[in-house]
A and B are shown apart, each in its own frame.
Chain A
Amino acid sequence: MNEPGDGSWRRLSPRMLLVHPVIEIGRAIPAIAGVLLAGSGGSGSSLWAAAIALAVAGFGTLRYVTTRYSIGSAQIQLKHGIFRRRELSVPLDRVRTVDVTAHVLHRLLGIARVSIGTGTSDRKEGGDRLVLDGLTAQQATRLRSELLHRPAVPAAEGPATSGARSEPGDEQLVALDPRWLRYAPFTLTGALTGLAVLGVGWRVVSEGHVRLDRVSVLRDVVAWFERWSPLTDVLIGTAGVIAFVALASTAGYLLSFWHFVLSRNDAGSLHVSRGLLTTRATSIERRRLVGVELSEPMLLRWVGGARVLAVATGLRVGRGGERGGEMLLPPAPRAVAIDVAGQVSGRGAGGLQTVLPPHPRAALRRRLVRAELPALAVVAATAVVAGAGGWPGWTVLLAALLPIVAFALAVDRYRSLGHLLVDRALVVGAGSLVRTRTVLDTEAVIGWTLRSSWLQRRAGLVTLIATTAAGRQKYLVSDLAAAEAVGFADAATPGLLSEVLVGESPVQVVAPGARSGRASTS
C-alpha cells in the first residue's frame, strides 16, 4: 500500500506518534525542571510541570496528524503546519542531495528521516529543504536510491537494512579505522560540548532560581581551590578543562563517526554513512560534486591528521558544517585524507600535496603587521596597567608571549597561501588555525571578484575571489601579485574575461610542474 511513485497523499509512519512527543518533552526538560525546582515543595508546581508535558505531547500529536506527503512520478510534495499550513514541492529532477538520518529513538522504532535538498534553494536555514521525518527505514533507503539512480536504475528491492548502511554494488572508498580515534582529542569538538553543557546548566539554574552559593558541592570545590595560590588554581583549572575537552572530543568522534563508510555507486554518486547512536547517511549526486577541500585545523595538523570536505552544489560549508553532511572523511591520517580526496576528485593527489608557488613578500608583511599590531597593543596596555600597580608583574611576561605567537601565526598564514591551476581545477591554499587546500573544478567558477584595499594597491597586491554555487560559495586567493591576478583568472576560465582584457590577445597558459607530488611540509 505504501508504494512510492503513485502520487497519492499519505501520512508518515504512525510510529512518529511515539517520537514527536518524546522529543518535544525532551526539549522542554529545562523549563519543566525549572518549574519543579522553583517551587520545590508546593504541589502546584508539579501540576504545572505535568500540564506543560501534556501540552507539549499534544502538540507533537497534532504535528503528526497535520503532515502528509506524496511522491509522484515528477515531484515530491509535503503539506504540513498546524497554525500556518505550508506546502512544499520539489521536482524530482531538481533533487541534488538526499540525507537519511535516524536518531536513537528513530532507530529503536525502525524509522528514519529523509531530507531532500535542491541545491541553491536551501540557502536559508531550513529553507526549501523537504524533510520527510518518519518513513520506515526500508522506505527511506528505497526512496534515496530511487532519487539518486534515476532514471537509469529502477527501484531495486533494497535489503531491509537500516538507512545507514551502504548498498551492495557500491564501491567502498574508505571506512573508519578504529586507530583514527587517536586524532579525536585534537578536534576540539569537546569544547563545544562543554559550552553546551554549561548552557543547559545555566538555563536550569536561572529558570529554577537555584542559589549557587547554597549548593554544598560547589562550596566544597570553591573552598578546595582557595587553599592554593591563584597561579596553581589556573594550572589545575586548565588541566581540568583540557582533560574534559579531550574526553568529550573523543566521545563526540565516536558518536559521530563510528561505522563511517564512504562509498561510490555505479552512477558515481558518493554516499557517506556514519554514526554510533544517531545514524546519518548522505548522498551527493555526481554532477553536484565540483571539488574537494583538505582541511587541517592546527592541532590536528600537529599530530599529522586531516579531514576532507566535499565541495558540492546544494551542500553549504560553514556553520555547523559537520551536520551539513559534506564531511567526506573524519579526522584521519593525512595520507589517507589525501588519498580519499584524490579518489573523489578524480585527480589523484594533484594540487593537494603540491607545494604552491609563494605569494609576494608584501603578503607576508601584511600578515605580520596585522598580527603584530594588536599583539603589541595588548602588551602595551598590560604594561601600563601593571606599571600603575593594577596587575602583578607576571601578567606582563605572559602578554609578552603574544607577539611571538602572533609572529608564528603570521608566518604560517603566509606559508599556506597559494594558488595554481592543475588539470582544469583551481587550487587554493589558505589559513593557519584551520589550514585548507581546496581543489575546485574551473567549470564551477561562475564569476570573479578582484578586491583591493588602499594598502593592497600600494603594495601591488590584490585579492582574487572565485565565486561558485558550491561549498563556501566563494574561494579567496588572498594577496597575490596584482600583475598576475587577471592572467590567472583568464587561464582558469578561458573566454569569460576575454572581452574586457587589454593588450595582446590572451595567451592560454598551462602550468607545468603542477603534477609534482612532493609533500608540503609547511
Chain B
Amino acid sequence: MGEVMPLEMRAPENRASSRAVRYWTVRALSGWVVALVVVITVATQAFPHQAAAVIGAAVLVAAVHVVVMPRWRFRVHRWEVTGTAVYTQAGWLRQERRIAPIVRIQTVDTERGPFEQLFGLSKVTITTASAAGPLKIHALDSATAELLALKLTDITSAAGADGT
C-alpha cells in the first residue's frame, strides 16, 4: 500500500476568552451542588454507616473536576477562521478537532446561556449541510463572537452555493 507522509495539523490560533476558566468553574460548581445534595441525601438514608466515606469520595471527585477541568479545557479550546475554512479544537479528556470549508457553511448562530451572560461570553455554532456535528466555538468574548458571526455570514452569503 502507499506510504502517507506523516503530516500534522497545527492547533488553531485563537484561544477562548480569559474569563472562560471562571465560567467553566462556576458552571461545573453549580452542577456539582445539585449532584452532592442528591449524594448526601441518598447516602445518609440508604447507608448511614458508610455515609461519610461516600460523601467524602464524591466531594473529592467534585473538587478535582472543578479545579482541573476548566484549566485543562482552556489549554485545549482554540478556534480559527482561515481564508478557506473554519477550524476548532475543543474538549479535555476527549478532544476534538473539526474543520469545515467556509463555502459549505449554512448557518451561523450565537447563543448566550445564563452562565455565559454572567461572564459576558457567547457560544458560536456553525452548521454545514451535514447533520453530523456542527462546529461549536465555546466561551468566546461576546463582542468577538458577534464580529465572528458577522464575518462568517458575510463570507457565506457571498459564496452563495447551497452548501451540499
CB pair B164–A313 under 8 Å, yes or no, is yes
Given contacts A487-B4, A487-B6, A501-B10, contact A448 B95 (CB under 8 A): no
- Per the bound structure, the CA–CA distance linking A486 and B128 in Å amounts to 21
Please judge, given known A-B contacts A467-B132, A511-B2, whether A453 and B12 are in contact too, CB under 8 Å. no
Give every chain A residue within 8 A of B4 (Cβ-Cβ): 484, 487-488, 491, 509, 511
Bound-state CA distance A496–B133 (Å) is: 17
Check if A511 sits within 8 Å of B100, measured CB to CB: no
Indicate which residue in A499, A502, A507 contacts B82 across the interface (CB closer than 8 Å).
A499
Q: Does A46 contact B (CB under 8 A)?
A: no
* Interface residue A70 (Cβ < 8 Å from any Cβ of B): no
Check A496/B99 contact, CB under 8 A, given A119-B164, A474-B132, A483-B6.
yes
Q: Is B93 engaged at the interface, CB distance under 8 Å to the other chain?
A: yes
Tell me how far the C-beta of B163 lies from the nearest C-beta in chain A, rounded to whole angstroms.
Answer: 8
The residues of B that contact A506 with a CB separation of less than 8 Å are 5, 7
In the assembled complex, which residues on chain B have CB atoms less than 8 Å from the CB atom of A119? Answer: 164
| Interfacial residues of chain A within 483-522, with CB under 8 A of chain B in the complex | 483-484, 486-488, 490-491, 495-497, 499-504, 506-507, 509-514
Q: Is B100 within 8 A of A512, CB to CB? A: no
Interface residues on A, range: 35 or more
Given the known inter-chain contacts A453-B93, A499-B84, please indicate yes or no for A474 contacting B164, CB distance below 8 A. Answer: no
**0/1 per residue, A15-45, Cβ < 8 Å to B?**
0000000000000000000000000000000
**Residues A450 and B7 in contact, CB atoms below 8 Å apart:** no
B152 CB, min distance to chain A CBs, angstroms: 14
Q: Which of B83, B85, B133, B164 gathers the greatest number of chain A CB atoms within 10 Å?
A: B164
**Given A450-B96, A499-B84, residue A465 in contact with residue B133 (CB < 8 A):** yes
Contact, CB under 8 Å: A452 / B6: no
CB pair B83–A499 under 8 Å, yes or no, is yes
Is B22 an interface residue, CB under 8 A from the partner? no
Q: Does B80 contact A (CB under 8 A)?
A: yes
Contact between chains at A452 and B132 (CB < 8 Å): no
Indicate if B53 sits at the interface (CB-CB under 8 A).
no
Q: Are A512 and B130 also in contact (CB < 8 A) when A500-B10, A501-B8 are?
A: no
Hey, which chain A residues are within 8 Å of B130, CB to CB? 446-447, 467-469, 473-474
Do B94 and A446 touch (CB < 8 A)? no
Q: Which residues of B contact A495 (CB under 8 A)?
A: 84
Assembled-state Cα–Cα distance A285/B9 (Å): 37
> Is B2 a contact of A450 with CB atoms below 8 Å?
no
Once A and B bind, how many residue pairs between them come within 8 Å at the CB atom?
Answer: 133
Question: From residue B39, how far is it (CB to closest CB) to chain A in Å?
Answer: 23
Chain B residues lying within 8 Å of A316, measured Cβ to Cβ, are 131
Task: State A351–B100 Cα separation when bound (angstroms).
Answer: 26
| Cα of A313 to Cα of B101 in the assembled complex, Å | 18
A496 nearest CB neighbor, chain B only: B101
Of all chain A residues, which has the CB nearest B6? A483
Known: A454-B93, A469-B164. A449 touches B98 (CB 8 A): yes
Whether a CB of chain A sits under 8 angstroms from the CB of B97 is: yes
B residues near A469, Cβ cutoff 8 Å: 128-131, 163-164
Nearest-CB residue, chain B, relative to A355: B1
The complex places the Cα of A449 from the Cα of B164 at a distance, in Å, of 18
Alpha-carbon gap, A512 to B6, bound state (A): 18
A138 interface residue (CB < 8 Å to B): no
* Nearest-neighbor residue (CB-CB) of A495 within chain B: B84
CA distance A496 to B99 in the complex (A): 8
* A447 and B104 form a contact (CB under 8 A): yes
From known contacts A507-B5, A509-B2, infer whether A496 and B84 are also in contact, taking CB-CB under 8 Å: yes
What is the CB-to-nearest-CB distance from B159 to chain A, in angstroms, rounded to a whole number? 13
Contact B8 A503 (CB under 8 A): yes
Does A168 interact with chain B (Cβ within 8 Å)?
no
Given contacts A469-B164, A511-B2, contact A500 B85 (CB under 8 A): yes
Complex: A149 Cα to B131 Cα, angstroms: 28
- A438-452 vs B, CB cutoff 8 Å, 1 = contact: the mask equals 000000001111111
**Chain A residues with Cβ under 8 A from B84's Cβ?**
495-496, 499
Say yes or no: is A320 at the interface (Cβ < 8 Å to chain B): no
Cβ distance A209 to chain B, nearest Cβ, rounded Å: 38
Is A61's CB within 8 Å of the partner chain B?
A: no
Give A491 to B3 CA distance when docked, in angstroms.
11
Collect the chain B residues with CB atoms within 8 Å of residue A499's CB: 82-85
Please tell me if the beta carbons of A501 and B9 are within 8 angstroms of each other in the complex. Answer: yes
* Residues of B129-158 contacting chain A, CB below 8 A: 129-133, 135
Nearest opposing residue in chain B for A473, CB measure:
B132
Query: Considering residues B6, B83, B104, B132, which has the most beta carbons from chain A within 10 angstroms of its beta carbon?
Result: B132
B7: contacting residue among A447, A486, A510, A514, CB under 8 A: A486
Q: Is A120 an interface residue (CB 8 A)?
A: yes
Contact of B128 among A467, A509, A510, A513 (CB under 8 A): A467
Q: Which of B1, B94, B129, B135 contacts A454 (CB 8 A)?
A: B94
Query: Whole-angstrom distance between the alpha carbons of A175 and B12 in the complex?
Result: 52
Nearest chain B CB to A71 CB, angstrom units: 22
* Chain B residues positioned under 8 Å from A365 (CB to CB): none
| Complex-state Cα separation, A231 to B8, whole angstroms | 59
* Chain B 59-88 interface residues, beta-carbon cutoff 8 Å to A: 80, 82-85, 87
Known pairs A497-B9, A503-B8; A452 contacts B99 (CB<8 A)? no
Instruction: Give the residues from 97 to 117 in chain A that come closer than 8 angstroms, CB to CB, to chain B.
Output: none
Evaluate contact between B2 and A510: CB separation under 8 angstroms: yes
Q: Which residues of A contact B94 (CB under 8 A)?
A: 451-454
The answer to whether A447 and B100 have CB atoms under 8 Å apart is: yes
- Interface contacts beyond A451-B97, A453-B94: sample of 4 additional A-B pairs, CB < 8 Å, sorted by A: A448-B99, A500-B99, A502-B7, A507-B5
- A sample of 22 cross-chain residue pairs with beta-carbon separation below 8 angstroms, ordered by A number, consists of A313-B164, A316-B131, A420-B1, A446-B128, A447-B104, A449-B98, A450-B96, A452-B94, A452-B96, A454-B94, A457-B95, A465-B133, A468-B132, A474-B133, A496-B101, A497-B85, A500-B10, A500-B87, A504-B5, A509-B3, A509-B5, A511-B2
Q: Which residues of B contact A (CB under 8 A)?
A: 1-10, 12, 80, 82-85, 87, 93-101, 104, 128-133, 135, 163-164
Q: Which 4 residue pairs spanning A and B have beta carbons closest together?
A: A474-B132, A447-B100, A469-B129, A511-B2
